[in-house]
Amino acid sequence: MRASIGPWIAAALAAAGILFGSAVQAAPDITPKPVSMAEAAGALRISDGATLKIDNPADRKTAAFLADLTARAGGPKLKLSQAPRLAVITFARGDVADPEGYRLEVSSQGVLVTARTEAGMFYGAMTLWQLLTAEPGKTVTLQGMRIDDAPRFKWRGLMLDSARHYQSPAFIRSLIDVMAAHKLNTLHWHLTDDQAWRLEIRKYPKLTEVGGWRVPAGEAPARDIDPATGKPRLYGGVYTQAEVKALVAYAAERQITIVPEIEMPGHASAASVAYPFLAAAPGSRTAVPSDWGVYPDIFNTDERTIGFLQDVLDEVVELFPSTYIHVGGDEAVKDQWKASPTIQAQMKALGLKDEHALQSWFVQRMEKHLSAKGRRLIGWDEILEGGLAPGATVMSWRGIGGALAAAKAGHDTVLSPAPILYFDNRQTRRSDEPPGRHFVVRLEDVYAFDPMPTQLSEAERRHVLGLQGNLWVEHIRTEARAAHMLFPRGLAVAERAWSPVGTRDVADFMRRAEPATARIRRLGFAAAETPFKGPETIADPLYRDSRQLKLCTTNIAIALEDDAPVRGERATFMTDIMNPCWIWEGADLTGVGAVRVDVGQLPFNYQIGKDIEKVVAGNSRTPEGELEVRVGGCKAEPIVVPLKPAAGNPAVTTLEAKLPPTTGSQDLCFTFARPKVDPMWALSGVWLEPRK
Ligand code: ACM
């Protein structure tokens, strides 16, 4: 089939400043955008029962997945066919330069997908899926075309934190489907942390039996007694090795590698509760903790602990065929190492000059162990401190400095810098965003991120493997919310990682992302629609959700979910945990007699080290504390409303502050005075009451 220079190419040339005719037909919407698309002669109707033939038996699973995914997205039912010479769709192995590349040709005779490898064929099939499911409908007419495509980067990733909250294997399968459909190929799976150890390790069963479960923070979970034990109900979950093997196989059929992460030497609490000898300060923790933030718990550095963790890695490499094994390395607080005479003596004996060098020694022990098994170690950028292990790959999260340092030192690197690729940040300022961090990372912001640092030389650039969006889930409790945070921002990661350098038309991307998101939702995956809704029009001038108020400060600002009720709908409070203070700017107080405030108390479950001293507290007049409302900004005299009526209620209580007669627009300021840091008080919403 020969491609004609059709109007799409004209569009591309027009975009490049070379103007062709004006009659431009829209190119099909494919995300990530292919390397080249050209219109060709003819058109093809594909309806229910259209046949699909494969050349190579290795492509059978790809064909079956295409048929399944097409039907699930509301497209025509495809029939896998063994024999017919004249199939509507043909998968043929052929000469395509890039091992992940493919060619897709549509003519009135049929669709021909050509690739050299299984991976290439899979990506061709996923492009065809997008052509077949642009709109739901059992009959699709495709314009003749030719697509030539191959990826820019090898590492096209998303990270899922399954430690802070557990997600079901069914959810992870649905995520894998959505990733695969958009040519993402790496699922970094964060399986262990302070708050849980999720991965079954046969040699050390207590890691999951003990480490997979905790009592969540707060009054409501503490009161939720499990009749079987007479103690607060445990919350959590574990992944059995059988479940993991099934997920790894499911992902592999979709060309996705699951890269497991086993955190060390920090983020060690859950493991150390299960096996106390693992702790550098044994006995310092006796229950799996439920605070967020960074715990001081760190693994011991004795041979017993090193051997234990290497045993764990032995089971990990049996379960995960991934070349890369992630060993964490981030946020390892070294205080317990500093305080241990045994560890200090060990450092001296090893000739290590400081605790960073000890972490480097620790990581090198793991690196040697993994490389002896033919695997490669990857870790967060802190593994650069104290000297990078030979052969280690660096995942750069504290900006891109780690990536630059790694590439310049001749090491491979993956970019996942905060905050731009941290999908626990909210994506719009709308009040219908679920809980998450206050910082706004819009879909178009993710799209604007280019993972290739301009500071690198040509040779150094070869060390940039690709990029990854990370979903930490401290504040993302449910699977539906995880889906909302991951997509459509995952589409921006996919396009940045796959499409050629220079693919930069954000308006075109946003236009494609909206129907792509609708299609993801047709698959049953709750991708966010908020990025396409536009700014909120505040319909009711008498009400503001906390997400619509201004925070006075944003030290650690998060939209937090209430801890109550344990089951059922919970309120969301946007607050700065360091300083509870909100402003309703320019509230029209004409005819307003009172302000009603929905308040709730939240556990202060944050490990923030010495910063705890900076939290605004200890300023109350009564044992329960007070809500303070100020008219005319935060410096005005407060109207003081006691919190006593709300103190016994773990869920939301409505309080009222009577206002003096006022007219016109005024800034309303809301703060809480409280006796101590825990519990925190926050407001979920405020409304103005007309004067009676
Ligand atoms: C990280 O966000 N601690 C890698």
pLDDT at 21: 29
Q: Which atom of ligand 1 is nearest to the CA of 331?
A: 3
For residues 475-495, one letter each, b for 16 or more C-beta atoms within 10 angstroms of the residue's C-beta and e for the rest, the string is: bbbbbebbbbbbbbbbbbbbb
Rounded Cα gap, residues 683 and 606, in angstroms: 19
88, 122, 149 - which closes a domain: 149
Residue 84 has pLDDT above 80, yes or no: no
pLDDT at 539: 66
422 lines ligand 1 (CB under 6 A): no
Q: Any idea which of 5-9, 138-142, 404-408, 660-664 has the lowest mean pLDDT?
A: 5-9
For residue 109, the Cα-to-chain-centroid distance in whole angstroms is: 43
Burial of 458 (0-12, 13-18, 19+ CB in 10 A): exposed
H helix or E strand, kind and range, residue 306: helix 303-319
The per-residue pLDDT for range 646-680, each reduced to its tens digit, is 999 989 999 999 999 988 999 999 999 999 999 99
In the reported structure, the alpha carbon of residue 561 is separated from the centroid of ligand 1 by a whole-number distance in angstroms of: 22
330 lines ligand 1 (CB under 6 A): yes
Give me the domain span that covers residue 246. Answer: 155-532
pLDDT at 14: 39
Q: Which atom of ligand 1 is nearest to the CA of 422?
A: 2
Nearest-5° angle of CA 151, CA 515, CA 100? 15
> Which residue, among 621, 606, 574, 585, has the nearest Cα to 677 in the 3D structure?
606
The residue whose C-alpha atom lies closest to atom 3 belonging to ligand 1 is 330
Q: What is the mean pLDDT of residues 260-274?
A: 98
In a domain, 42, yes or no: yes
Q: What is the 3-state secondary structure (H, E, C) of 556-606?
A: CEEEEECCCCCCCCCCEEEEECCCCEEEEEEEECCCEEEEEEEEEEECCCE
- Asked if 32 and 498 touch (Cβ cutoff 8 Å), the reply is yes
Same structural domain for residues 162 and 288? yes
Same structural domain for residues 305 and 435? yes
For residue 669, the Cα-to-chain-centroid distance in whole angstroms is: 34
Rounded Cα gap, residues 394 and 298, in angstroms: 21
Output the average pLDDT for the chain: 94
Rounded Cα gap, residues 683 and 685, in angstroms: 6
Q: What is the CATH number of the domain that holds 178?
A: 3.20.20.80
Residue 516 has pLDDT above 70, yes or no: yes
Q: Which of 385, 397, 474 to mutate to test the pocket of ligand 1 (most atoms within 8 A of CB)?
A: 397
Q: Which of 331, 381, 415, 422 to mutate to test the pocket of ligand 1 (most atoms within 8 A of CB)?
A: 331
The per-residue pLDDT for range 164-186, each reduced to its tens digit, is 999 999 999 999 999 999 999 99
- Asked if 305 and 365 touch (Cβ cutoff 8 Å), the reply is no
In a domain, 2, yes or no: no
The per-residue pLDDT for range 127-173, each reduced to its tens digit, is 999 999 999 999 999 999 999 999 999 999 999 999 999 999 999 99
Tokens of 94: 């052929």
Residue 330 has pLDDT above 90, yes or no: yes
In the reported structure, the alpha carbon of residue 661 is separated from the centroid of ligand 1 by a whole-number distance in angstroms of: 50
In the reported structure, the alpha carbon of residue 34 is separated from the centroid of ligand 1 by a whole-number distance in angstroms of: 32
pLDDT at 551: 98
In a domain, 500, yes or no: yes
Active site residues: 193, 267, 331
397 lines ligand 1 (CB under 6 A): yes
Q: What is the mean pLDDT of residues 382-409?
A: 96
Percent of the chain with pLDDT over 90: 93
Same structural domain for residues 263 and 129? no
Band (pLDDT 50/70/90 cuts) for residue 25 is low
Tokens of 80: 């896998």
Residue 429 has pLDDT above 90, yes or no: yes
What separation in angstroms does the CA of 633 have from each of 538, 574, 621, 636, 667?
21, 19, 21, 6, 5
Percent of the chain with pLDDT over 70: 96
In a domain, 330, yes or no: yes
- Asked if 519 and 132 touch (Cβ cutoff 8 Å), the reply is no
149, 170, 204 - which closes a domain: 149
Same structural domain for residues 354 and 255? yes
Same structural domain for residues 352 and 254? yes
Residue 538 has pLDDT above 80, yes or no: no
- Asked if 353 and 345 touch (Cβ cutoff 8 Å), the reply is no
Largest CA distance in the chain: 86
Q: Which atom of ligand 1 is nearest to the CA of 380?
A: 4
pLDDT at 692: 83
User: pTM, whole model, 2 decimals?
Assistant: 0.95
Q: Cis before residue 419, ω within 30 degrees of 0?
A: yes
The residue whose C-alpha atom lies closest to atom 2 belonging to ligand 1 is 397
- Asked if 587 and 666 touch (Cβ cutoff 8 Å), the reply is yes
In the reported structure, the alpha carbon of residue 357 is separated from the centroid of ligand 1 by a whole-number distance in angstroms of: 20
Same structural domain for residues 554 and 435? no
Same structural domain for residues 577 and 637? yes
Same structural domain for residues 432 and 509? yes
| Residue ranges with strand state E in 481-580 | 543-545, 550-551, 557-561, 572-576
pLDDT at 82: 78
Band (pLDDT 50/70/90 cuts) for residue 274 is very high
For residue 295, the Cα-to-chain-centroid distance in whole angstroms is: 21
In a domain, 538, yes or no: no
Q: Which atom of ligand 1 is nearest to the CA of 397?
A: 4
In the reported structure, the alpha carbon of residue 475 is separated from the centroid of ligand 1 by a whole-number distance in angstroms of: 15
pLDDT at 663: 87
In a domain, 1, yes or no: no
Tokens of 665: 């627009």
Q: Any idea which of 397-406, 449-458, 530-539 has the lowest mean pLDDT?
A: 530-539
Q: What is the mean pLDDT of residues 422-427?
A: 98
Q: Which of 195, 472, 474 to mutate to test the pocket of ligand 1 (most atoms within 8 A of CB)?
A: 472
In the reported structure, the alpha carbon of residue 422 is separated from the centroid of ligand 1 by a whole-number distance in angstroms of: 9
Number of domains observed in the structure of the chain: 3
Q: Which atom of ligand 1 is nearest to the CA of 328?
A: 4
Same structural domain for residues 144 and 162? no
Q: What is the mean pLDDT of residues 498-503?
A: 96
Rounded Cα gap, residues 643 and 396, in angstroms: 45
Q: What is the CATH number of the domain that holds 585?
A: 2.60.120.260
Question: Could you give the dihedral angle defined by the CA atoms of residues 358, 363, 366 and 372, in that order, rounded to the nearest 10 degrees?
Answer: -110
The per-residue pLDDT for range 436-489, each reduced to its tens digit, is 999 999 999 999 999 999 999 999 999 999 999 999 999 999 999 999 999 999
> Which residue, among 313, 310, 358, 363, has the nearest Cα to 334 in the 3D structure?
358
DSSP 294: -
105, 126, 149 - which closes a domain: 149
In the reported structure, the alpha carbon of residue 330 is separated from the centroid of ligand 1 by a whole-number distance in angstroms of: 6
For 619, phi and psi rounded to 5 degrees? Answer: -115, 20
In a domain, 357, yes or no: yes
Same structural domain for residues 440 and 549? no
In a domain, 537, yes or no: no
Q: Which of 261, 380, 383 to mutate to test the pocket of ligand 1 (most atoms within 8 A of CB)?
A: 380
pLDDT at 1: 37
Q: Which atom of ligand 1 is nearest to the CA of 472?
A: 2
Residue 20 has pLDDT above 60, yes or no: no
Rounded Cα gap, residues 486 and 66, in angstroms: 22
Rounded Cα gap, residues 262 and 257, in angstroms: 16
First CA to last CA across the chain, in angstroms?
Answer: 79
Q: Any idea which of 8-12, 124-128, 259-263, 362-366 has the lowest mean pLDDT?
A: 8-12
Same structural domain for residues 670 and 685? yes
Residue 503 has pLDDT above 50, yes or no: yes
For 228, phi and psi rounded to 5 degrees? Answer: -70, -30
Same structural domain for residues 421 and 281? yes
Band (pLDDT 50/70/90 cuts) for residue 686 is very high
pLDDT at 623: 96
Q: What is the CATH number of the domain that holds 128?
A: 3.30.379.10
Residue 19 has pLDDT above 50, yes or no: no
61-65 long-range Cβ contacts below 8 angstroms, 24+ apart? 61/253, 62/91, 62/118, 62/121, 62/122, 62/125, 62/253, 63/91, 63/125, 65/122, 65/125, 65/180, 65/253, 65/254
Could you tell me which residues are beta bridge partners of residue 122?
Answer: none
